[in-house]
Every structure is written in C-alpha cells, then in structure tokens.
Amino acid sequence: MIRRLRRGAAAYPALLAAIHDPPACLHVRGAAPLSVLSLPAVAVIGSRTCSPYGAQVARSIAREAAAAGAVVVSGLARGVDAEAHRGALEAGGATVAVLGCGIDRDYPAAHAALAARIAETGLLVSEYEEGVEPAPWRFPARNRIIAGLCRAVVVVEARERSGALITVDFALEGGREVLAVPGEITSALSRGTNGLLRHGATPLLDPADALDAIGVLAPAWAPVATSSVAAAVLAALADGAGSADEAVRATGLPAGAVAGALTELELSGLIDCAEGRYRRRAGLRA
Amino acid sequence: MLARTLTHTLVGVEARRVEVEAHLARGVPSFTIVGLADRACQEAKERVRSGIASAQLEWPMRRITVNLAPADLRKEGPGFDLPIALAIVAASGQVPAERLLGHAALGELGLDGRVRGVGGVIVAAEAARRAGCTRMLCPVEAAPEAALAGIQPVPVHDLGEAVAYLRGEWLPGPVAVAEAAPAADVPDLADVRGNERARRALEIAATGRHNLVLAGPPGTGKTMLARRLPGILPPLALDEAIEVLRIHSVAGLLPPGRPLVLAPPFRAPHHGASMAAITGGGPGPRPGEASLAHRGVLLLDELPEFSRPCIEALRQPLEDGVVAISRVQGRAVFPARFMLVATMNLCSCGGRGDPTAECSCSPQRLAVFRDRLSRAVLDRIDLVVVVPRARAAELAGPPGEPSERVRRRVAEARSRLDCAGPELGAAAAALLDRAVERLPLSGRGRARVARVAATVAALASCDVVGAEHVAEALSYRVPRELEPA
C-alpha cells in the first residue's frame, strides 16, 4: 500500500524539511510506521561496482548501526547500496531505500526481491509517483533526499567521479556529517573516498564512528567464545584478508582443522568470506 | 539346406540374442541378407564372400538367403560377418552343422579371411553364457574379454581356423583370464605446492565419491589439481572393473590384450562437446562421456563454457547413476555413476577473486555468468572450493605430499565409510541446525553437508561425526559468489 506524506504534515521528517528544496510530497511503500523516517539515521552509500572489501565494510557498518537502533538509509542501487540494506536486514533493523523512479517501480529489476524484503520491515521512499520511469537526472535528485533524511553520510567506496560524491555535496550543504572509509591508495575504487579524507571528511575506522556521528550509543561489545584453533586462525587474519591456505601456513595447523575453524568464526560473525578470502569484520575488537 | 549360428547385437550395454539362419536354395545364384540389417551389416555380403574364398572354401553357387532373427530388432555393426560366414559354410555342408550347437560367434571378417576385433565382446559373451552356450568363437584379441565373462573362448585368427576347429581338426590353447593392466601414468600430487585447502577437498572428494567444483581466477592450479585426482583414488573392485570394462568394450576403447583395468576411468571432455557426446546417443545408442566415466571421474574443465543442455543433461546421471536414452527404436540404459569434478572462474573476465587484477565484468555480465550455472546441477555438488591466487612465497615452498600416501589414507577411510559409516553426533546435529538458520542452506544442502561430514569423520578415524567435522564440511558449501543474485 502506498502512503503519501505531504510537506507540512506532522510526520514529515524535520531533517528533510530543513534542506533547501525538500520534496513536496513523499510517496512511501512498506510496512514500517512513518515515524521511522524521523529516527536517527545514517546513510551508507558508495559505488555500484564495489570490491569485496567495500561490500564487507558496507554490510558491517549497516549491521552495527541497525543493531544499535539507527535507521540505515541508502539508494537500492547495486554494490554498496544493496550491501548496506542487506546488512541492516541481517541485524533485524529498519532500513529505508530512497528510489530515483516511481514508487511502484523496483529499479534495478534484479533487486526486486531485496525491495520486497525491505518493504516487510522498512520503507521505500520516492518523490515520484507511480509509473515514473527511472532517468539519469532523477538519481542526483534522489541523492538529496538520502542526504536530507540522515544526520551523517558514510561513503564506503567511490571512484573519483562517483555519484556518491553528489550525495556528499548535498550533505555538506545541509550541514550533515560526512564520513569516508579509507581505502588502499592503489585502488581506483577508493580514489573518491580517499579524496574526501584529504578534504577533511571524518575517517571511519570503526562502524561505531558512524554511530558517534549521529549520536547513537553503540551497544557494549560482548566477546564471543572461540575454540583455541579458531583463535589462532583469527589471529592469523589480523593483518588483513587471507586465503585459507595462508591461514594454514601461518598457524601450522592441518587444512581440515583450519576449514572447521573458519566456519566457526563465520557462524559467530567474527569473519566474512568473499572470493575465497577471509576478512575479519570491521570494528572487531579482539 | 539350412544352418544356424548364434550371435548377439548390442542395445546400449546389453546384448540381445540374434540367430543367424542361412538357407541355400536352387535358383539363380544370389546373396540376400534380411532382418533389419544396417549398412555395416549389409556390407557383410562382400566381406563374407571374399573371406570364404580366401579361406580356400567353396562359395555355394545357390540362391543364398541369410536371415537375422528376431526380424524386428535393428542389427548394427560388422560383428555378424563371422556368424554369417559360418552359417553359409555349414549350410553348404562344408562343416558339420551340429558342431555349431552350444557355440556363439562374433567377429568382423577381412577380405583375406582374417577375423578382426569388434566392440562389446564381453557383453555378448555374458549373454551367450546365459543363453546356455559354453564356447564362443571370437577374434584373438577379444579372447581375454570373453574369458572374463565366464565362457570358454575359441580365439580364431581367420575363418580357416574357425572352420578347422568346427571340423575337429584343430583345438585352441587355453586362454588365461587376463591380468589387470597397470594403471596409466597419472600426474602426482607432489607437483602441487601450497593449495592445502584444495588438496584437502580432493582427498575428501576421493574418499566419499563427492562431486567437487574448483572455482577461482585463471592460473591458480584448478585444472592441475583436478587432473591429479585419479592418482589418489583406490583401485576398483573386480565387479566394478567389469562394469567399466563392459562400457568401454561397447565403445571400442579397450587397451589391446589386457582389457581389465582396475584404475578408475578418468574422462575429460572438451567444453565444445555436444550433448550426445556427454550422455551418449546415436541411432543405436553408444555410451557418452558420462558413462565412460562410470565408477571414475568426469572432469568438466571450465564448466560454464559447456552448453546449457550438456550441463542439464547431467542431472539424471548425477541423481540416478544411469543415463537412459530413448529412441524410436527403443530405450538403452547406460550406467553412469561418476564423480563430477568441475573447474570454473568466478566471472566471465576471470578477474574476480584475484587481488592483483580487477574484475571488469558489469553487473549484467556477472548475472549472466551466474545464470549459466544451473541451480539444479550446483545443488548436486557436495564440495566447492574457491582456489585463490597463491602468493609467490607459497609457490616456492616444499613439494606437496605424494599421491601414493594420500591414496592410502583415502582407501583406509573409504573402507570405514563403506562398512557402517560414522553416525551423526548430538553436537554435530546441533551445529547443522544452527547453520541452517544462519546460512542459505536448503534441506538438500543440509543432507549434503551431513554426508560430507561423515566422510571427514571417516578420514579422521572417528565413529561419530563431531561438530568439528560438520564445521569443516560447511566450509565447502557453495560460496555466495556463485549463488544466484
């Protein structure tokens, strides 16, 4: 069911109303109450083509933010956006997807299932009414809503001329905090975010930094009990992502034991696996 | 003036009894073969005529009719030459017709009367034995094969020898049951440095006969590892080796002289293969690669490059262990219980999973690539290992463990697995339940993980599957990169 939220209505988010050209009407789809739009929110945005690192970090940030009760806002695009939504859903939190097309459309079509999951517990929002086609110029306009709904914007990975930087401009205009995830200086995918850091964006070194920026208290971190083998494998991954073979060599343990330990760590949420490489979750204090 | 010989024709890997009747009548000399003979079989006329002449026998100047009964069964191939020639010779009184009783015959004739080898001798010999025959006239090179079927072979070099035998003028020497041929040279696992995880997965796959996919960027040793799998497989049991022998005999692929091979077959068809080449087919169906790999390994190198129908066609053998081919003429069932080993990249450009290269695939191309992998086939893969690009230090390491040592472990664990098999412990079941909650794991996936865990426990000489075995088995599940978006 689609709900409309006109500017001036009581439920119209105050933060969004404060930007210089707030949308006259917000079309809203999803099961969550409209008040979700006024909760402390953080935008997690970035490149549509992202590296395994970017995907993992986006998911971690969103997961932790959602677990702490913050709303994760993003744009339902491929790459970082989708990972952010998935991370928030994983933590069972509310997430808001701002669309650059008519409220009844799922764009990109490949994310129709993701959109449906978001609608179950969160909201999809658009300033365009039903039937409006996605068009290149609608996405920058959509970005102003993403920035407008949030107290802080986290850029996970962005190329030098990424659309995510447009959102950053809107955020700065609206006086919102901008955080950037530092990346490797050799990666073109981090050129944009590293550039933001040079210009004074807050570096995000821990998912809790995003929560600090919007004034939400991070929940106390409960240490997870691990077996001694798993602890050794986790220690071997301290210097960055590694393959199972590298963990075997670093720990001197048999491949079978390491494989079991990696599953244990994955199930405990201490590491993530992408493309055959295992990476400790961002913000892991162990 | 009628004489009969008994022979067999192949339908798939089964033999059907065929009676060859030769009738000589007065009239204008002629030679006709009736009874649904195919082209190779019709051409028998010319070979039989020359063969009889070359063997210093007389060609009867009569109206000759040869009937292949039952008349509604298609007869294929050149194996009918010898029985046709013998029936004609017997019908013309050159050998006593009653001597042919209790004998089956099979073989192709050369123009000089020589008896040439044909495929499927073991299958025909088994059928002949069941039909009550005690002896079988067959080409010399096929005698060990016939002996394996439990029939007394009469190996003949040429038609003359066969006639001499039937006249009681010559007796063949005893034929020893063939010894197993030594295993072909297989590359050794010692050549593979590093890659501990993939080696471990190979060992588990070899032990539990699990299907395995090695995925990763190009040049990480996936194919090299896969090609070394035969070296760590224990030899076949005799009854398994004979099953394999039947299929390979029908396909005409036996090593000459020593037909029995105890090494499990290893087949690696090119990705350009047609569906018929993989499953078998043709008008008189012949076994395809899936059947030739029966009791062994079918390696599909670069799995996504195989045509979709080829991959889909593997669903039946992966599930039932047989390929059933239905034709207008009838149905043939080929055994095809193989281990599937496949290699693949993680995306179409190959850059994915390689930290030193960037993947240039668009999201659309990635989606197309993933869609090319059939969900149904991926669902039947027990172990998936992502083989990442190794660091230089790894390649400079010591050589790996030799195949011989791994094979001994595999054989030992397999005997444990084949007797009773480890049972699922309480901790293991609890971990499985937790994994089903946390991971995208279907019911079928859960059963698969439990099977792999049992193999892991067998390798660890445990009688009960523990949580650590399930944890390891879970680490070989289909990674997110290959799941549909």
CA distance A90 to A63: 7
Are A261 and B471 within 8 A, CB to CB?
Answer: yes
The verdict on whether omega for the bond into residue B139 sits within 30 degrees of 0, i.e. cis, is no
pLDDT for position A176:
94
As for how many domains chain B has, the answer is: 3
On whether both B244 and B377 belong to a single domain, the answer is yes
Per-residue pLDDT of chain B (485 residues; tens, 9 = 90+): 899 999 999 888 889 999 999 999 999 999 999 988 888 778 889 999 999 999 999 999 999 999 998 988 888 878 899 999 999 999 999 999 888 889 999 999 999 999 998 989 999 999 999 999 999 999 998 898 898 888 999 999 999 999 999 999 988 877 776 677 777 788 999 988 888 999 999 999 999 999 999 999 988 889 999 999 999 999 999 899 999 999 999 988 887 777 888 899 999 999 999 988 998 887 778 899 999 999 999 999 999 889 888 988 998 999 899 998 887 767 888 999 999 999 999 888 888 888 777 788 887 888 888 887 777 788 889 999 998 887 776 777 788 899 999 999 999 999 988 887 788 889 999 998 888 887 777 788 888 999 999 999 999 999 899 999 999 999 998 888 887 65
Mean pLDDT calculated for residue range A97-109: 92
Q: What phi, psi does B119 have (nearest 5°)?
A: -85, 160
Q: How confident is the model at residue A11 (pLDDT cuts 50, 70, 90)?
A: very high
Q: Do B266 and B196 belong together in one domain? A: yes
**What is the three-state SS of chain B?**
CEEEEEEEEEECCEEEEEEEEEEEECCCCEEEEECCECHHHHCHHHHHHHHHHHCCCCCCCCEEEEEEECCCCCECCHHHHHHHHHHHHHHCCCCCHHHHCCEEECCEECCCCEEECCCCHHHHHHHHHHCCCCEEEEEHHHHHHHHHCCCEEEEECEHHHHHHHHCCCCCCCCCCCCCCECCCCCCCHHHCCCCHHHHHHHHHHHHHCCCEEEECCCCCCHHHHHHCCHHHCCCCCHHHHHHHHHHHHHCCCCCCCCCCECCCCEECCCCCCCHHHHHEECCCCEECHHHHCCCCEEEECCHHHCCHHHHHHCHHHHHHCEEEEEECCEEEEEECCCEEEEEECCCCCCCCCCCCCCCCCCHHHHHHHHHHCCHHHHCCCCEEEECCCCCHHHHCCCCCCCHHHHHHHHHHHHHHHHHCCCEECHHHHHHHHHHHHHCCCCHHHHHHHHHHHHHHHHHCCCCEECHHHHHHHHCCCCCHHHCCC
Query: Are B379 and B431 members of one domain?
Result: no
- Residues B414-432 have pLDDT tens digits of 998 888 778 888 999 999 8
CA distance B465 to chain A (A): 13
First to last CA, chain B: 75
For chain A, positions 5-44, list CB contacts with chain B under 8 A: none
A267 touches chain B (CB under 8 A): yes
Q: In chain B, positions 158-197, which contact chain A (CB-CB < 8 Å)?
A: 194-197
Query: Can you tell me the distance from the alpha carbon of B270 to that of B220, in angstroms, rounded to the nearest whole number?
Result: 20
Closest approach of B234 to chain A, Cα-based (Å):
21
Contacts of A261 in chain B (CB under 8 A): 471
In this structure, the answer to whether residues B206 and B140 fall within a common structural domain is: no
* Res. A284: pLDDT tops 60: no
Record the tokens describing residue A92, joined without a space. 């069972």
Find out whether B41 and B75 touch, Cβ atoms under 8 Å.
Answer: yes
pLDDT band at A275 (very low <50, low <70, confident <90, very high): confident
Using a CB–CB cutoff of 8 Å, tell me whether A243 touches chain B: yes
What SS3 class is residue A139?
helix
| Cβ contact B388–A277 (<8 Å) | yes
Cβ of A178 under 8 Å from any chain B Cβ? no
- The parent domain of residue B320 ranges over 189-401
Contact list in B for residue A248 (CB cut-off 8 A) is: 196-197
Which two structure tokens, joined as six digits, stand for B287? 């076994």
- Which residue out of A81, A159, A245 would a mutagenesis test of the B interface target, given it has the greatest number of B Cβ atoms within 10 Å? A245
Distance from C-alpha of A50 to C-alpha of B441, rounded to nearest angstrom:
26
Q: Using CA atoms, how far apart are residues A267 and B438, in angstroms rounded to an integer?
A: 7
User: What is the number of other CB atoms lying within 10 angstroms of the CB of residue B152?
Assistant: 18
Asked if the C-beta of A112 comes within 8 angstroms of chain B's C-beta atoms, the answer is: no
d(CA B49, CA B183): 42
Contact A281, A60 (CB under 8 A): yes
Q: Are both B129 and B197 inside the same structural domain?
A: no
Residue B414 maps to a domain: no
Q: Give the CB-side neighbour count of residue B134, counting CA atoms within 13 A.
A: 4
Which of A244, A263, A267 lies at the smallest CB-CB distance from B197? A244
Q: Which of B390, B475, B481 sits opposite A262 (nearest CB)?
A: B475
- Indicate the residue type of A53: Y
Distances (CA, A) of A55 to A61, A197, B271: 10, 20, 33
CA distance A278 to A9: 48
Residue B305 has which token pair? 């490059």
Does B440 fall in a domain? yes
Q: Looking at the structure, do residues B394 and B355 belong to the same domain, yes or no?
A: yes
Residue B244 in domain? yes
Are the beta carbons of B435 and A255 separated by less than 8 Å? no
| Selected residue of B401, B475, B482, B483 to mutate for chain A interface (largest A Cβ count, 10 A) | B475
What pLDDT, on the 0 to 100 scale, is given for residue B479? Answer: 85
Q: Which of B374, B401, B428 is the last residue of a domain?
A: B401
> Would you call B472 and A244 a contact, using CB atoms and an 8 Å cutoff?
no
Q: Looking at chain B from residue 204 to 223, which residues have their Cβ under 8 Å from any Cβ of chain A?
A: 215-216
> Are B157 and B32 found together in one domain?
yes
CB contacts < 8 A (A, B): 91
Residue B223 sits in the same domain as residue B360: yes
pLDDT of residue B97: 87
Q: Which of A253, A46, A63, A75 is nearest to A157 (CA)?
A: A46
Q: Are B236 and B260 in contact (CB under 8 A)?
A: no
SS3 category, A43? strand
A255 and B197: CB-CB below 8 Å? Answer: yes
Of residues A213, A217, A145, the one with CA closest to residue A177: A213
Residues 348-407, chain B: which have Cβ within 8 Å of A?
352-353, 355, 358, 362-363, 367, 386-388, 390-391, 394, 397
Residue at B410 is within a domain: no
Residue B485 has a pLDDT of 54
**How many Å lie between the alpha carbon of A21 and the closest alpha carbon of chain B?**
33
Distance (Å, whole) CA A140 – CA A163: 7
- Among A79, A243, A267, whose Cβ lies nearest the Cβ of B435? A267
Residue type, A140: P
Task: Evaluate whether B466 touches B428 at the Cβ level (below 8 Å).
Answer: yes
> Angle CA(B181)–CA(B184)–CA(B190) in degrees, nearest 5?
135
Is residue B239 domain-shared with residue B320, that is, in the same domain? yes
Residues of chain B positioned with their CB less than 8 A from the CB of A244: 196-197, 475
Starting at the edge strand that comes first in sequence, how are the strands of the sheet with B14-25 ordered? B30-34, B63-69, B14-25, B2-11, B103-105, B135-139, B152-156
Question: What is the Cα Rg of chain A in Å?
Answer: 19
- Chain B residues with CB inside 8 Å of A255's CB? 196-197, 199-200
- Do B66 and B143 fall within a single domain? yes
Q: Contact, A276 vs A282, CB < 8 A?
A: no
Q: In chain A, list all ranges with CATH 1.10.10.10.
A: 228-280
Q: Looking at the domain A228-280, which fold is it? A: Arc Repressor Mutant, subunit A (1.10.10)
In a domain, B184, yes or no: no
Q: Across the interface, which of A49, A259, A276 has its CB nearest the CB of B353?
A: A276
B6 in a structural domain: yes
* Kind plus residue range of the DSSP H or E element containing A204: none
Among the partner-chain residues B196, B355, B479, the one whose CB lies closest to the CB of A255 is B196
**Residue B150 neighbours by CB under 8 Å, 6+ apart:** B125, B126, B129
The reply to whether residue A243 touches residue B358, judged by beta carbons under 8 angstroms, is: no
Looking at residue A286, its pLDDT comes to 40
Domain of B18, CATH number, reads 3.30.230.10
Phi, psi of A114 (to 5 degrees): -65, -40
Does B471 sit within 8 Å of A255, measured CB to CB? no
Mean pLDDT of A237-249: 88
Burial track A198-224 (b if 16+ CB lie within 10 A, e otherwise): eeebbebebbbbbbbbbebebeeeeee
Minimal Cα distance from A227: which residue of B?
B468
B153 lies in the same domain as B298: no
For testing contact with chain A, the best of B196, B391, B401, B452 (most A CBs within 10 A): B196
How many CA atoms does the CB half-sphere of A174 hold within 13 Å? 29
Contact B472 A275 (CB under 8 A): no
Structural domain includes residue B84 = yes
Q: Is there a contact between B468 and A257 if contact means CB atoms under 8 Å apart?
A: yes
pLDDT of amino acid A51: 87
Distance between CA A149 and CA A97 in Å, rounded? 11
Flag if B197 and A267 touch (Cβ within 8 Å).
no
Whole-number Å distance between alpha carbons of B362 and B442:
29
Q: CATH assignment of A2-214?
A: 3.40.50.450
**Other residues' Cβ atoms within 10 Å of the Cβ of residue B402:** 14
| Contact state of A245 with B197 under an 8 Å Cβ cutoff | yes
Best of B472, B477, B481, B482 to substitute, by most chain A Cβ atoms within 10 angstroms, is B472
Residue A221 has pLDDT above 70, yes or no: no
Residues of chain A with Cβ-Cβ distance to B363 below 8 Å are 48-49, 78-79, 108, 110
Measured between beta carbons, the chain B residues lying within 8 angstroms of A263 are 435, 471-472, 474-475
Tokens encoding B105: 């015959």
What's the CATH number where B455 sits? 1.10.8
In chain A, % helix, strand, coil (3-state, to 5) comes to 40, 15, 40
The residue with tokens 């959109």 is: A115
Q: Looking at the domain assignment, is residue B127 inside a domain?
A: yes
Distance of CA A132 to the CA centre of its chain: 26
B287 DSSP β-pair partners: B280
Q: Does residue B304 have a cis bond before it (omega within 30 degrees)?
A: no
Domain boundary among B352, B374, B401: B401
Interface test with B, best of A89, A258, A272, A275 (most B CBs within 10 A): A275
Please indicate whether, in this complex, the C-beta atoms of B388 and A257 are within 8 angstroms of each other: no
- Which of B196, B469, B474 lies at the smallest CB-CB distance from A248? B196
8 Å CB contact of A49 and B363:
yes
For residue B355, list chain A residues with Cβ-Cβ distance below 8 A.
241, 277
Whether B425 and B383 map to the same domain: the answer is no
